Structure 1
Amino acid sequence: MSSAWQRIATAPAGRRTAWSVLTAWLLIAVAATMFAKTGDVETNDLSSWLPASAESTRALELAEREFPAAEPEQLLLVYAREGGLTTADREAAAADATALAALAADPVPPPIPSQDGAALLVTVPLSPEQTAEEAVGPVLDRARSVLTEGLPAGLGAWMTGGPAAGADFDAAFDSLDTTLLGVTVGVVALLLLLTYRSPVLLLVPLFAVGVASQLASALVYVGAKYLGLVVNGASAGILTVLVFGAGTDYALLLISRYREELTRHADHRQAMRLALRHSLPAIIASAVTVILALLTLLAAGLNSTRGLGPVAALGIVSALLVMTTLLPALLVMCGRRVFWPLIPAVRDAAEPARGPGLWARTAGFVSRHARPIWIVTALGLAALSLGATTLDTGLRQSESFVTKPDSVRGFEVLATHFPAGSGDPTEVYLNTTTADRVTGTLRALPGVAEVGQAEPSLAGGWTRLRIVLADAPSSDRAEQTVLRLRDAVHTVDPSALVGGATAQELDENTTMDADLRLLIPLILAVVLGVLIVLLRSLVAPLLLLGSVLLSFGAALGAAALVYHAIGFPAIDRSVLLHGFLFLVALGVDYTIFLMTRAREEVATHGHAEGVTRALSVTGSVITSAGVVLAATFSVLSLMPVVFMMQVGILVGIGVLLDTFIVRTLLVPALVHHVGPRTWWPRHP
């Protein structure tokens, strides 16, 4: 480090500057509290996640421009009885339709019977004012009370349709904020207590990471409010987990080095200065790697994916700033007593700086059996990755909840007794001059159950057709029908547009596939570049990147087995991208911590002894950091949204594999086997 950088980096350890750092952060924390309201700027509407170039997005814009007096959204009440409806069932549904007339924006038609005589459908049109986020709750509560009151015994009744499904989706994400924060804080507190066995040392990093979380939320809120940053419930939830996980990891690394220096120096401020000097390069390198990997998401086509990049990057920046300034300032103010009751004492300077006996023995075992260890672990990880071949990337929107809400069950019943697409028709927009020629063709297409009446636009230049699909919305078969619709209308009218919920999900999947092909190589290139600069080597970065890829494959295979075991075998494509991003960016963290210490030790003790000492000294802290990060991401597995649950499982498994297998066995065994050539072309 340069002398200027040393003064800046060690400022939190100074007698006066520590108080300045603390005062500044307290002021920042108070200001951040006023803006830490990410829930106010979240957008969970699928249409807002799609790029402007998507056909379904252009169809939505055309509808708003050319059909401003569009029909109200439909709230659907579905009634069904196995074995057929009774007279009392029909009377109850008719009474509900009458009772809901006062709530509806337009007249409520009589109940529509299914052809099999086992179900009825009541459609309740709602105005845009009624379906607005702040108003839809009371409207749905009133409709639900009508639906359930006086229901004949044995008659099933469900409320579904766009407004009900949207409310259920928003409710699932609204429940995440408080639950996720509470569970995450509890998990981190427990792990810190188990790690340090000190009530004081538990509170100090927990307070610091709490400040980092507030700062990150405030920065994200400002970005969404004033800079157009796209935030949804998933990215807000991931932000909380990421800040607590990464922030605690940085704290563990710093505190471990601080404790090590306290055994060498009586002055705890000097010990902190040395701890910052030695640990900051690894912490900063880790953070920069993750930040740059996250910012590659800015190249994504999906707005939701593109928004996650800066959202999560702001979280890492916040964690880095707070945990390398506020945390050390708090620690030096508390002095050695912060470690009570296990206060470190100054030891003989000649005593070797080795880690606990377990890690010293592990490091020695790896150094003696390097070749068989890396071969066996690599083959084991490769075998585990075969489980990924069982994955199905066809998760439908109706399967997005861990526990099916009323709206999803209603859609399923609707699809059983009526044309499956009745509750969510696909919309086709055509130049009026071509509409007559296309209508007949559309009716004859496989997968089309019904073509509605043509609706001209206000100016008369556009015609809209509502198409009821034979298959359930968002299913693979329904998406194939949308593709056939697009081919048919584009042949006659290249300017025609096909939109609606199924078309939106089709466009989302298509865009996500393109994002995967673009972003995965980009993330790998960024991580490789950072490793080359950090380690000043070409061989070591390639070894590390290969180990991370192998670890990701194994994590995906193991997670697939878990998904099957818990009954959620289908995944959303975004699970692959999020899992790859976090496991590559975060997984390489632990090898960065190990290899930067190895480089430091190799320069003094030679290659073999240096790598052994590095694993011995860092083993305990990196394992603790890995367990904390895995546990915090695993909190997502408790969430009611399948996507977040699956990401939590995948990242949790992957981090544990990185911690206990890749970083402990595979990487050090490979580095021992390759020898000093690991550092080519520049030896430490």
Structure 2
Amino acid sequence: MDEGIETRGRWRPSLLPRAYAALVVGLRWFVVAGWAAAAIASVIYLPAVGQGGSDLEQLVSKDNPAINSELRSFDKFGFPLLSRVAVVQRNPQGLPEQARTAALERAQAVSDGTYTDAGPIRAAVPVMNVKGLFPGSEENGTTIVTYLFTNPDVSFAGQVKAAERFVQAHYGPDDAVVGVTGSVPARVEQARIVQSSVSRLELITVIAVFLIVAVAFRSLIAPLVALAVAGVATLLTLHVGGVLALKLGVPVPQETQPLLVALLLGVVTDYVVFYLAGVRRSLAAGETRVEAARQATARFTPIILVAGLTAAAGTGALVVAGSPAFRAFGPGMALAILIGVIVSVTLVPALLAIFGAAAFWSPLGRRPLVDTEPAGSTWWARLLTRKWFAAPVLVLCTAGLVIAALPLQHIRLGVSFVDALPADRPARAAATAAETGFADGILSPTELLVEGGGIAGRPDELNRVQQALAKEPGVAAVLGPSSAQLPKGFDVFRAGDGSAARYLLILDTEPLGARAVQTLDRLNRDLPGLLAAAGLENTQASLGGDTAVARVVVEQTKSDLGRIAIAALLANLLFLMLFLRALFAPIGLLACSVLAIGATLGLTTWLFQDVWHADGLTFYVPFAAAVLLVALGSDYNIFGIGPAWREARTRPLREALALTLPHSARAIRTAAITLAVSFGLLLLVPLRPFRELAFALATGVLIDAFIVRSLLAPALLSVLGSTVAPEPVAEESIPEQMGSPTR
């Protein structure tokens, strides 16, 4: 394993890196003891990430128009029309009349307060797929969905527990209960799945990282060093993140924990690998363990710091987003990277100064500490740096990435909860039963609130609105002021003061999926004309419900794209410019990263939407993946192009690339495999958003390492040549650069 920094050049570390290396190596025992104590104390005294908040309402902005519409509806009517928890009863052969009667009596008892054990449940409204009662249903008398309404201050988990207790106490075998479902139970179920998957994910990722590092260094101790450092960084991130969530009031969703673990294990292992390779080379040259640790620390600490700060700045750029979901996601990722960097640049040098050659011990016997260049490893680098060869490589790589990115123009975004669950989960099974008996949108109806003076007393106009809504594409059924044979207590479509009317719309697609969001987006545009055509010109209309909330979240996500992209790209460009002390080369390198990200998201869209027919990608996946890949791509820019750039101050850029590329490309590919495996193992979390993230991140890292850094970027610099090369300096006047290796 070569360390990716050419060690045969003319550079040696400057005074500050050498002084830092002497300090941290000299205090090695105190450093190790200090980090061990910090990790133990964080577990004992600090809360874990996720305790700062995980409910959906904490990730939706308070000024969301859909939420405001629901609040105004409650104020007008004194009773909510929407519920996000439901009990599903189903018998494909038909529910007995006794079950239907019991459902109505049970609901009335809850609303009257007869059931004293109902707890926070204040009302229950059953809806049956009886012909004439529920329009749009293809079945008759097979399914009952009873919506449960609880106090607004009850947590999501509390609502689900209350519903489950209610079913256990007041439903019998003849009621054919399938289960409790809805967007709230689905959200709670997702959190349970994530928490139950973390331990297994950590174990398998640790095993994978151990094997990769063990094979790379042919040692059993080297991977233990990497995992020890990654473990300390992970513990501190999860617990410090929990403290910040509580102190700053920024929710850190529990669902981010697997991603934090994968990110830390991958990134920290990358940094450790570079230190390990540097120490091995110095030991092979005859240095003592302490001196070898000093040299590796002085050479690589500045580069790792710049790379880590670049990655942290890129992910931290999400803080500029308007969406609370992104504002919560960004700082958590940036914090993870920063803690990983701090732990790496202190704990790794200390451990390697203690272990020395023992870090490369193998049970197969003592091996000589050599770091030879494999035969024939440089011919392709020399070939790639010839303009006549680099130009077609540049064209082919660019064309391939552009073609891979084409599906991105058809990307759709949704906010699925129930649909993201595995098919065997209770909430998903109950949802499937309800959708089969009614329509896909039955569990999360959309509420249309129409406000205007005296509107409740205009039945003809209200009827025309209801008929027009029923004809809208994507709407399976409409309940409203004109609906007949409604259950007792459900006819709440006209406000008592006559100033408002409301409708319940059931869509014919998964209510939080991309198609439902598009349906509601179109309906929102059509509403002014629809109301005017019905004779209700001077009225105000608004939409509420899960789909309406999802629509606003998706719109907000799209509007955030510009701010996030500009902030992330500028942050990464700034660090690249400072590190390379150039302008045009960083722009070209960043353009290569953008091409790789476009190809990654295009392939992700193609796989999930076109091949697996998912109803759009989860709204945050493309943006979170893009920001992480920009940041990590800049890491590889620094590790890969940095050595060539410094060599190019004393020789032509083409020669510098040919000299350094074999080492840097091999190191980056090894590091990328580790990172890709860490991200790819997110597949172990059986939720669709994690599968989307796993594929996007793993694919993006591999494209970046094997295509962009190994082929596209060197070909680009070779073609541009002297137009982007750094200014040459005389050898005798070369200043000592930070982190630069020596001959």
Structure 2 partner of 1:363: 381
Q: Look up the equivalent residue of 2:502 and give its one-letter code.
A: L
State the SS of the aligned residue for 2:148.
Answer: strand
- Contact preservation (8 Å) 1:370, 1:669: yes
- Contact preservation (8 Å) 1:354, 1:360: no
Give the alignment of 1:299-318 within 5 angstroms. 299-318=320-339
Structure 1 partner of 2:492: 453
Residue 334 of structure 1, CA deviation: 0.9
Structure 1 partner of 2:564: 519
State the SS of the aligned residue for 2:543.
Answer: strand
Identify which range, 126-135 or 398-407, moves more after superposition.
126-135
TM-score of the aligned structures, taking structure 1 as reference length:
0.87
Structure 1 partner of 2:29: 19
Residue 161 of structure 1, CA deviation: 3.2
Structure 2 partner of 1:85: 94
Structure 1 partner of 2:597: 552
Root mean square deviation of aligned Cα: 3.6
- Contact preservation (8 Å) 1:403, 1:640: no
Q: Distance in 2 between matches of 1:346 and 1:638?
A: 38
Q: Distance in 2 between matches of 1:659 and 1:72?
A: 49
Q: Distance in 2 between matches of 1:581 and 1:648?
A: 14
State the SS of the aligned residue for 1:77.
Answer: strand
Structure 1 partner of 2:220: 199
Q: Look up the equivalent residue of 2:642 and give its one-letter code.
A: T
Quick one: structure 1 residues 298 and 27, their matched pair in 2 at CA, closer, same or farther if it must change by over 3 Å?
same
Q: Distance in 2 between matches of 1:48 and 1:597?
A: 45
Residue 468 of structure 1, CA deviation: 3.2
Structure 1 partner of 2:54: 43
Residue of 248, 261, 264 corresponding to 1:227: 248
Structure 1 partner of 2:311: 290
Quick one: structure 1 residues 29 and 230, their matched pair in 2 at CA, closer, same or farther if it must change by over 3 Å?
same
Q: Distance in 1 between matches of 2:541 and 2:613?
A: 40
- Contact preservation (8 Å) 1:263, 1:344: no
- Contact preservation (8 Å) 1:97, 1:108: no
Q: How many residues align?
A: 669
Residue 370 of structure 1, CA deviation: 2.6
Q: Distance in 1 between matches of 2:82 and 2:385?
A: 71
Q: Distance in 1 between matches of 2:180 and 2:170?
A: 8
Runs (5+) with no aligned partner, structure 2: 1-12, 110-114, 132-138, 470-474, 481-490, 735-743
Greater per-residue helix proportion: 1
Residue of 539, 551, 565 corresponding to 2:584: 539
Q: Distance in 2 between matches of 1:346 and 1:166?
A: 53
Q: Look up the equivalent residue of 2:683 and give its one-letter code.
A: S
Quick one: structure 1 residues 136 and 179, their matched pair in 2 at CA, closer, same or farther if it must change by over 3 Å?
farther
Residue of 711, 719, 723 corresponding to 1:677: 723
State the SS of the aligned residue for 1:114.
Answer: coil
- Contact preservation (8 Å) 1:12, 1:325: yes
Residue 219 of structure 1, CA deviation: 1.8
Residue 576 of structure 1, CA deviation: 1.7
Quick one: structure 1 residues 488 and 383, their matched pair in 2 at CA, closer, same or farther if it must change by over 3 Å?
closer
- Contact preservation (8 Å) 1:21, 1:329: yes
Residue 676 of structure 1, CA deviation: 3.2
Structure 1 partner of 2:523: 481
Structure 1 partner of 2:20: 8
Residue 302 of structure 1, CA deviation: 0.9
Quick one: structure 1 residues 548 and 106, their matched pair in 2 at CA, closer, same or farther if it must change by over 3 Å?
closer
State the SS of the aligned residue for 1:239.
Answer: helix
Give the alignment of 1:220-619 within 5 angstroms. 220-341=241-362, 355-357=373-375, 359-368=377-386, 369-389=389-409, 391-394=411-414, 396-403=416-423, 405-418=425-438, 421-428=441-448, 433=453, 435-436=455-456, 442-446=465-469, 447=475, 449-451=478-480, 453-454=492-493, 465=502, 467-472=504-509, 473-474=511-512, 475=516, 476-482=518-524, 484=526, 497-563=542-608, 564-568=610-614, 570-604=616-650, 606-619=652-665
Q: Look up the equivalent residue of 1:424 and give its one-letter code.
A: S
Identify which range, 406-415 or 310-319, moves more after superposition.
406-415
Relative contact order (alpha carbons < 8 A, sep ≥ 6): 1 or 2 greater?
2
State the SS of the aligned residue for 1:37.
Answer: coil
Q: Distance in 2 between matches of 1:32 and 1:74?
A: 37
Q: Distance in 1 between matches of 2:357 and 2:335?
A: 32
Structure 2 partner of 1:624: 670
Q: Look up the equivalent residue of 1:576 and give its one-letter code.
A: P
Percent of pairs identical after alignment? 23
Residue 322 of structure 1, CA deviation: 0.5
Give the alignment of 1:121-136 within 5 angstroms. 121-123=144-146, 125=148, 127-128=150-151, 132-133=155-156, 135-136=158-159
Residue 625 of structure 1, CA deviation: 0.5
What are the Cα deviations for residues 341-367 of structure 1, in whole angstroms up to 9, with x where unaligned? 3867577xxxxx874335334323423
Structure 2 partner of 1:652: 698
Structure 2 partner of 1:170: 191
TM-score of the aligned structures, taking structure 2 as reference length:
0.80
Residue 202 of structure 1, CA deviation: 1.4
